[in-house]
Amino acid sequence: MSASTLSVVPLITPLVASPCADGEQVCELTYDWTGNSRLADWSDVLIGVPLAIVGLILFGLVTRWLLHRMVDRIASRAERGVLPERVEGAVSARRKQRAATMSGVLKSIVTFIVVAIIGTMVLSEIGVAIAPIIASAGILGIALGFGAQSLVRDFLAGIFIFIEDQYGVGDVVDVGEANGTVEAVTLRMTRLRDINGTVWYVPNGAILRVGNKSQNWSRAVVDVSVGYGEDLSSVQRVLRDVAHDLWQDDDFRHVIIEEPEVTGVEMLAADSVTIRVMVKTAPLEQWAVARELRQRIKARFDHEGIEIPFAQRVVWHRQDRRDAVAPDSAPDAAPAAAGDEG
Protein backbone atom coordinates (compact mmCIF):
# COMPACT_ATOMS: atom_id res chain seq x y z
CA MET A 1 0.00 0.00 0.00
CA SER A 2 1.39 3.28 -1.06
CA ALA A 3 1.72 6.18 1.23
CA SER A 4 -0.80 8.14 -0.83
CA THR A 5 -3.51 5.64 -0.07
CA LEU A 6 -2.91 5.72 3.64
CA SER A 7 -5.65 7.45 5.55
CA VAL A 8 -5.63 8.55 9.15
CA VAL A 9 -8.32 6.77 11.12
CA PRO A 10 -8.98 8.54 14.38
CA LEU A 11 -8.96 6.39 17.46
CA ILE A 12 -12.20 6.92 19.41
CA THR A 13 -12.24 5.65 23.01
CA PRO A 14 -15.76 5.28 24.34
CA LEU A 15 -16.52 7.13 27.57
CA VAL A 16 -18.04 4.83 30.17
CA ALA A 17 -20.12 6.61 32.81
CA SER A 18 -19.19 6.01 36.46
CA PRO A 19 -21.64 3.76 38.29
CA CYS A 20 -21.23 5.77 41.49
CA ALA A 21 -23.64 8.45 42.59
CA ASP A 22 -22.58 11.82 43.86
CA GLY A 23 -21.01 11.67 47.29
CA GLU A 24 -20.18 7.95 47.23
CA GLN A 25 -16.45 8.32 47.82
CA VAL A 26 -15.83 4.64 48.58
CA CYS A 27 -17.56 3.60 45.37
CA GLU A 28 -15.61 6.12 43.28
CA LEU A 29 -12.30 5.13 44.88
CA THR A 30 -12.95 1.42 44.29
CA TYR A 31 -13.99 2.05 40.69
CA ASP A 32 -10.85 4.11 40.03
CA TRP A 33 -8.68 1.31 41.40
CA THR A 34 -10.39 -1.67 39.81
CA GLY A 35 -12.58 -0.34 37.01
CA ASN A 36 -15.22 -2.88 38.04
CA SER A 37 -18.64 -1.24 38.43
CA ARG A 38 -20.21 -4.19 40.26
CA LEU A 39 -17.37 -4.28 42.79
CA ALA A 40 -17.69 -0.51 43.23
CA ASP A 41 -21.41 -0.83 43.98
CA TRP A 42 -20.90 -3.56 46.55
CA SER A 43 -17.98 -1.75 48.16
CA ASP A 44 -20.21 1.24 48.84
CA VAL A 45 -22.92 -1.01 50.31
CA LEU A 46 -20.53 -3.07 52.43
CA ILE A 47 -18.08 -0.34 53.43
CA GLY A 48 -19.38 3.14 52.66
CA VAL A 49 -22.84 2.94 54.26
CA PRO A 50 -21.65 1.22 57.50
CA LEU A 51 -18.84 3.76 57.84
CA ALA A 52 -21.29 6.62 57.38
CA ILE A 53 -23.66 5.12 59.96
CA VAL A 54 -20.83 4.60 62.45
CA GLY A 55 -19.65 8.15 61.86
CA LEU A 56 -23.14 9.53 62.46
CA ILE A 57 -23.51 7.52 65.65
CA LEU A 58 -20.13 8.70 66.93
CA PHE A 59 -21.02 12.27 66.04
CA GLY A 60 -24.32 11.93 67.90
CA LEU A 61 -22.59 10.48 70.98
CA VAL A 62 -20.01 13.26 71.03
CA THR A 63 -22.69 15.93 70.57
CA ARG A 64 -24.80 14.40 73.34
CA TRP A 65 -21.78 14.28 75.66
CA LEU A 66 -20.92 17.92 75.02
CA LEU A 67 -24.51 19.05 75.58
CA HIS A 68 -24.74 17.01 78.78
CA ARG A 69 -21.55 18.65 80.04
CA MET A 70 -23.12 22.02 79.34
CA VAL A 71 -26.24 20.99 81.29
CA ASP A 72 -24.05 19.82 84.19
CA ARG A 73 -22.37 23.23 84.30
CA ILE A 74 -25.74 24.96 84.39
CA ALA A 75 -26.88 22.64 87.20
CA SER A 76 -23.67 23.23 89.17
CA ARG A 77 -24.27 26.97 88.97
CA ALA A 78 -27.82 26.44 90.23
CA GLU A 79 -26.40 24.57 93.25
CA ARG A 80 -24.43 27.60 94.40
CA GLY A 81 -26.03 29.25 97.38
CA VAL A 82 -26.73 32.91 98.02
CA LEU A 83 -27.26 32.54 101.77
CA PRO A 84 -24.73 33.14 104.59
CA GLU A 85 -22.61 30.23 105.76
CA ARG A 86 -24.50 29.98 109.07
CA VAL A 87 -27.65 28.79 107.28
CA GLU A 88 -26.19 27.36 104.08
CA GLY A 89 -26.15 23.80 105.35
CA ALA A 90 -29.88 23.82 106.06
CA VAL A 91 -30.90 24.48 102.46
CA SER A 92 -28.02 23.08 100.40
CA ALA A 93 -29.57 19.61 100.18
CA ARG A 94 -32.88 20.96 98.83
CA ARG A 95 -31.10 23.19 96.33
CA LYS A 96 -29.01 20.26 95.10
CA GLN A 97 -32.18 18.21 94.70
CA ARG A 98 -33.81 20.90 92.56
CA ALA A 99 -30.63 21.24 90.47
CA ALA A 100 -30.50 17.47 89.94
CA THR A 101 -34.14 17.43 88.84
CA MET A 102 -33.57 20.25 86.38
CA SER A 103 -30.42 18.54 85.07
CA GLY A 104 -32.24 15.25 84.51
CA VAL A 105 -35.08 16.88 82.57
CA LEU A 106 -32.73 18.89 80.36
CA LYS A 107 -30.58 15.84 79.65
CA SER A 108 -33.66 13.85 78.64
CA ILE A 109 -34.72 16.61 76.24
CA VAL A 110 -31.22 16.83 74.74
CA THR A 111 -31.02 13.05 74.29
CA PHE A 112 -34.41 12.92 72.58
CA ILE A 113 -33.49 15.67 70.11
CA VAL A 114 -30.08 14.16 69.28
CA VAL A 115 -31.53 10.66 68.80
CA ALA A 116 -34.29 12.00 66.55
CA ILE A 117 -31.86 13.91 64.32
CA ILE A 118 -29.22 11.17 64.12
CA GLY A 119 -31.87 8.50 63.59
CA THR A 120 -33.31 10.41 60.62
CA MET A 121 -29.85 10.80 59.09
CA VAL A 122 -29.14 7.07 59.52
CA LEU A 123 -32.39 6.19 57.76
CA SER A 124 -31.34 8.46 54.92
CA GLU A 125 -27.99 6.65 54.63
CA ILE A 126 -29.57 3.21 54.33
CA GLY A 127 -31.79 4.42 51.52
CA VAL A 128 -35.04 5.17 53.31
CA ALA A 129 -36.83 8.22 51.94
CA ILE A 130 -36.98 10.62 54.86
CA ALA A 131 -39.04 13.27 53.09
CA PRO A 132 -42.34 11.49 53.91
CA ILE A 133 -41.18 11.03 57.50
CA ILE A 134 -40.39 14.73 57.87
CA ALA A 135 -43.66 15.66 56.21
CA SER A 136 -45.58 13.29 58.49
CA ALA A 137 -43.83 14.76 61.53
CA GLY A 138 -44.82 18.22 60.36
CA ILE A 139 -48.43 17.17 59.89
CA LEU A 140 -48.41 15.48 63.29
CA GLY A 141 -47.01 18.63 64.87
CA ILE A 142 -49.74 20.74 63.29
CA ALA A 143 -52.38 18.28 64.45
CA LEU A 144 -51.02 18.36 67.99
CA GLY A 145 -50.86 22.12 67.85
CA PHE A 146 -54.56 22.39 67.04
CA GLY A 147 -55.98 19.32 68.76
CA ALA A 148 -53.90 19.21 71.93
CA GLN A 149 -53.13 22.84 72.59
CA SER A 150 -53.59 22.51 76.34
CA LEU A 151 -51.24 19.51 76.47
CA VAL A 152 -48.56 21.30 74.46
CA ARG A 153 -48.99 24.39 76.64
CA ASP A 154 -48.60 22.28 79.78
CA PHE A 155 -45.39 20.70 78.51
CA LEU A 156 -43.87 24.01 77.42
CA ALA A 157 -44.76 25.61 80.75
CA GLY A 158 -43.25 22.63 82.57
CA ILE A 159 -40.01 22.97 80.64
CA PHE A 160 -39.69 26.63 81.59
CA ILE A 161 -40.54 25.83 85.22
CA PHE A 162 -37.54 23.50 85.32
CA ILE A 163 -35.20 25.73 83.32
CA GLU A 164 -35.96 28.85 85.36
CA ASP A 165 -36.13 26.88 88.63
CA GLN A 166 -39.37 28.59 89.63
CA TYR A 167 -40.08 25.97 92.30
CA GLY A 168 -39.26 22.39 93.16
CA VAL A 169 -40.29 19.51 95.41
CA GLY A 170 -40.56 20.69 99.00
CA ASP A 171 -41.24 24.36 98.23
CA VAL A 172 -44.31 26.11 99.61
CA VAL A 173 -45.99 27.96 96.75
CA ASP A 174 -49.14 29.89 95.95
CA VAL A 175 -50.43 29.27 92.41
CA GLY A 176 -53.78 31.00 92.75
CA GLU A 177 -56.70 28.98 94.02
CA ALA A 178 -54.37 26.23 95.26
CA ASN A 179 -51.42 26.74 97.58
CA GLY A 180 -49.36 24.39 99.69
CA THR A 181 -46.25 22.22 99.64
CA VAL A 182 -45.04 20.88 96.29
CA GLU A 183 -45.00 17.08 96.31
CA ALA A 184 -44.23 16.40 92.64
CA VAL A 185 -43.40 18.37 89.51
CA THR A 186 -43.57 16.87 86.03
CA LEU A 187 -43.54 18.40 82.58
CA ARG A 188 -47.34 18.27 82.52
CA MET A 189 -48.60 19.04 86.01
CA THR A 190 -47.71 20.07 89.57
CA ARG A 191 -49.02 18.26 92.64
CA LEU A 192 -49.59 20.33 95.80
CA ARG A 193 -50.78 19.43 99.30
CA ASP A 194 -52.34 22.24 101.31
CA ILE A 195 -52.36 22.71 105.09
CA ASN A 196 -55.60 20.71 105.39
CA GLY A 197 -54.07 17.71 103.65
CA THR A 198 -55.95 18.20 100.38
CA VAL A 199 -53.95 17.22 97.28
CA TRP A 200 -54.23 19.59 94.31
CA TYR A 201 -53.28 18.61 90.76
CA VAL A 202 -52.55 21.78 88.78
CA PRO A 203 -51.70 21.65 85.03
CA ASN A 204 -48.57 23.67 84.39
CA GLY A 205 -50.22 25.57 81.55
CA ALA A 206 -52.94 26.80 83.93
CA ILE A 207 -50.42 28.49 86.25
CA LEU A 208 -50.48 32.18 85.34
CA ARG A 209 -48.38 33.27 88.29
CA VAL A 210 -46.68 31.54 91.17
CA GLY A 211 -45.51 32.83 94.54
CA ASN A 212 -42.69 30.81 96.08
CA LYS A 213 -42.58 31.23 99.86
CA SER A 214 -39.42 29.19 100.36
CA GLN A 215 -36.91 30.08 97.67
CA ASN A 216 -33.49 31.26 98.88
CA TRP A 217 -34.82 32.86 102.11
CA SER A 218 -38.01 33.73 103.97
CA ARG A 219 -39.15 36.34 106.48
CA ALA A 220 -41.10 36.01 109.71
CA VAL A 221 -43.28 39.06 110.37
CA VAL A 222 -44.63 39.38 113.92
CA ASP A 223 -47.02 42.20 114.85
CA VAL A 224 -47.21 42.91 118.59
CA SER A 225 -50.07 44.99 120.04
CA VAL A 226 -49.74 46.97 123.28
CA GLY A 227 -52.02 49.36 125.11
CA TYR A 228 -52.08 53.09 124.56
CA GLY A 229 -50.82 53.67 128.08
CA GLU A 230 -47.49 51.92 127.49
CA ASP A 231 -44.19 53.68 126.81
CA LEU A 232 -43.48 52.79 123.18
CA SER A 233 -39.73 53.43 123.50
CA SER A 234 -39.49 50.94 126.35
CA VAL A 235 -41.63 48.43 124.46
CA GLN A 236 -39.40 48.63 121.39
CA ARG A 237 -36.29 48.21 123.57
CA VAL A 238 -37.78 45.06 125.12
CA LEU A 239 -38.66 43.69 121.68
CA ARG A 240 -35.11 44.29 120.44
CA ASP A 241 -33.70 42.47 123.46
CA VAL A 242 -35.99 39.47 122.94
CA ALA A 243 -35.22 39.33 119.20
CA HIS A 244 -31.47 39.65 119.84
CA ASP A 245 -31.56 36.78 122.36
CA LEU A 246 -33.31 34.64 119.75
CA TRP A 247 -30.66 35.62 117.18
CA GLN A 248 -27.89 34.50 119.59
CA ASP A 249 -29.62 31.25 120.56
CA ASP A 250 -27.67 28.21 119.41
CA ASP A 251 -30.89 26.39 118.49
CA PHE A 252 -31.73 29.10 115.95
CA ARG A 253 -28.28 30.19 114.71
CA HIS A 254 -28.58 28.04 111.61
CA VAL A 255 -32.05 29.19 110.60
CA ILE A 256 -31.92 32.98 111.22
CA ILE A 257 -29.94 34.75 108.50
CA GLU A 258 -29.73 38.31 109.82
CA GLU A 259 -30.28 39.99 113.16
CA PRO A 260 -34.00 40.73 113.66
CA GLU A 261 -35.29 44.23 113.09
CA VAL A 262 -37.91 46.19 115.03
CA THR A 263 -39.38 48.53 112.45
CA GLY A 264 -41.51 50.59 114.87
CA VAL A 265 -45.18 51.48 115.08
CA GLU A 266 -47.09 49.76 112.30
CA MET A 267 -50.71 50.62 113.09
CA LEU A 268 -52.87 52.61 115.51
CA ALA A 269 -56.02 50.61 116.20
CA ALA A 270 -59.06 51.52 118.27
CA ASP A 271 -57.73 49.85 121.42
CA SER A 272 -54.04 49.08 120.76
CA VAL A 273 -50.78 50.18 119.16
CA THR A 274 -49.13 47.62 116.83
CA ILE A 275 -45.33 47.31 116.61
CA ARG A 276 -43.74 45.12 113.93
CA VAL A 277 -40.76 42.77 114.29
CA MET A 278 -39.20 41.17 111.16
CA VAL A 279 -36.78 38.23 111.09
CA LYS A 280 -35.03 36.98 107.94
CA THR A 281 -34.86 33.19 108.03
CA ALA A 282 -33.88 30.17 105.99
CA PRO A 283 -36.57 28.79 103.65
CA LEU A 284 -39.58 27.24 105.39
CA GLU A 285 -38.31 28.26 108.84
CA GLN A 286 -40.27 31.51 109.16
CA TRP A 287 -43.27 29.91 110.89
CA ALA A 288 -41.25 28.12 113.57
CA VAL A 289 -39.21 31.27 114.25
CA ALA A 290 -42.36 33.41 114.47
CA ARG A 291 -43.98 31.01 116.97
CA GLU A 292 -40.90 30.97 119.18
CA LEU A 293 -40.58 34.76 119.02
CA ARG A 294 -44.23 35.28 120.07
CA GLN A 295 -43.81 32.91 123.00
CA ARG A 296 -40.72 34.75 124.24
CA ILE A 297 -42.36 38.14 123.79
CA LYS A 298 -45.36 37.02 125.86
CA ALA A 299 -43.12 35.79 128.69
CA ARG A 300 -41.02 38.96 128.66
CA PHE A 301 -44.07 41.23 128.61
CA ASP A 302 -45.47 39.40 131.66
CA HIS A 303 -42.15 39.93 133.43
CA GLU A 304 -41.94 43.62 132.51
CA GLY A 305 -45.59 44.29 133.25
CA ILE A 306 -46.35 45.42 129.69
CA GLU A 307 -50.02 45.11 128.88
CA ILE A 308 -51.18 43.21 125.84
CA PRO A 309 -54.64 44.81 125.56
CA PHE A 310 -57.90 42.97 125.45
CA ALA A 311 -60.63 44.03 123.12
CA GLN A 312 -62.42 47.03 124.63
CA ARG A 313 -65.87 48.42 123.97
CA VAL A 314 -67.42 51.65 125.17
CA VAL A 315 -71.11 51.32 126.09
CA TRP A 316 -73.25 54.45 126.35
CA HIS A 317 -76.24 54.26 128.71
CA ARG A 318 -78.98 56.61 127.51
CA GLN A 319 -81.90 57.50 129.75
CA ASP A 320 -85.23 56.39 128.43
CA ARG A 321 -87.40 59.19 127.06
CA ARG A 322 -90.30 58.28 129.33
CA ASP A 323 -88.08 58.66 132.38
CA ALA A 324 -86.99 62.07 131.15
CA VAL A 325 -90.58 63.46 131.26
CA ALA A 326 -91.25 66.07 133.98
CA PRO A 327 -92.69 64.60 137.21
CA ASP A 328 -95.74 66.87 137.25
CA SER A 329 -96.82 65.68 133.80
CA ALA A 330 -96.25 61.98 134.45
CA PRO A 331 -99.01 59.68 135.80
CA ASP A 332 -98.80 58.97 139.50
CA ALA A 333 -99.10 55.19 139.81
CA ALA A 334 -98.11 52.81 137.06
CA PRO A 335 -95.33 54.75 135.35
CA ALA A 336 -93.63 55.52 138.62
CA ALA A 337 -93.69 51.88 139.58
CA ALA A 338 -92.26 50.88 136.22
CA GLY A 339 -89.50 53.38 136.64
CA ASP A 340 -88.65 52.06 140.07
CA GLU A 341 -88.44 48.53 138.76
CA GLY A 342 -86.08 49.62 136.00
pLDDT number for residue 171: 86
pLDDT number for residue 297: 95
pLDDT number for residue 216: 79
Q: How far is Cα of residue 133 from the mean position of the Cα atoms in its chain?
A: 36
Question: 172-212: what fold?
Answer: SH3 type barrels. (2.30.30)
pLDDT number for residue 15: 44
Query: Where do the structural domains in the chain lie, given as residue ranges?
Result: 38-128, 172-212, 218-304
Residues of the chain with pLDDT under 50: 1-16, 330, 333-342
User: Domain 218-304 is of which CATH architecture?
Assistant: 2-Layer Sandwich (3.30)
